[in-house]
Amino acid sequence: MDPGVDKATGDAYWRRTSSLMWIMMAIWAIAGFGVHLFATSLNTIVILGFPLGFYMAAQGSLIIFVVSLFWFASRQNAIDEEFGVEEE
C-alpha cells in the first residue's frame, strides 16, 4: 500500500484481500480433498468408458484449480482497483 494511505483504508483493503484468500483456501481444500473423498461413490457413473470418480479425481480437481486461479486474479484485481493500488 502507498505510505500516504490512511490506516482505515489499509485495514479495509487487507480485510477484503484476506477474506478472498480464505475463500480460495476453502475452494482448494474442497477440490483437493472433497472430490477425492467421494470418488468411489461416483465410480458407478461411467463417461466415455471411464468411471466418473476417476475422471473427477484425475482431471476435475485440476480444472477447478485452474478456473479458481483465474477467478482469484480477477477478484484481486477488482479489489486493487477499488482501493487504488492496481498494477499497470
Tell me what pLDDT residue 57 has: 79
In a domain, 65, yes or no: yes
Confidence at 5, pLDDT banded by 50, 70, 90: low
In which domain, by residue range, is 47 found? 22-82
Tens of pLDDT, residues 22-72: 999 999 999 888 878 888 888 888 888 888 888 777 788 889 999 999 999
In a domain, 58, yes or no: yes
In a domain, 88, yes or no: no
Residue with cell 474442497: 30
In a domain, 17, yes or no: no
Contacts of 68 (CB under 8 A, 6+ apart): 24, 27, 28, 31
In a domain, 38, yes or no: yes
The structural domain count of the chain equals 1
Whether the Cβ atoms of residue 85 and residue 12 lie closer than 8 Å to each other: no
Region 67-82 average pLDDT: 95
Region 7-17 average pLDDT: 91
In a domain, 15, yes or no: no
